[in-house]
Amino acid sequence: DAKTTQPPSMDCAEGRAANLPCNHSTISGNEYVYWYRQIHSQGPQYIIHGLKNNETNEMASLIITEDRKSSTLILPHATLRDTAVYYCIVRVDNQGGKLIFGQGTELSVKP
Partner 1 sequence: KAGVTQTPRYLIKTRGQQVTLSCSPISGHRSVSWYQQTPGQGLQFLFEYFSETQRNKGNFPGRFSGRQFSNSRSEMNVSTLELGDSALYLCASSANTGSAYEQYFGPGTRLTVT
Residues that bind partner 1 (CB under 8 A): 30-32, 34, 36, 41-46, 49, 87, 91-93, 95-103
Q: How far is the CB of 95 from partner 1 (least distance, A)?
A: 6
State how far the Cα of 42 lies from the Cα of 33, in Å rounded to an integer.
22
Cβ nearer to partner 1, comparing 18 with 89: 89
Q: State the Cα angle at 25 between 73 and 78, rounded to 5°.
A: 10
Q: How far is the CB of 98 from partner 1 (least distance, A)?
A: 5
Q: How far is the CB of 66 from partner 1 (least distance, A)?
A: 21
DSSP element (H, E) containing 65 = none
State how far the Cα of 71 lies from the Cα of 53, in Å rounded to an integer.
11
Cβ nearer to partner 1, comparing 14 with 44: 44
State how far the Cα of 24 lies from the Cα of 26, in Å rounded to an integer.
6
Cβ nearer to partner 1, comparing 7 with 102: 102
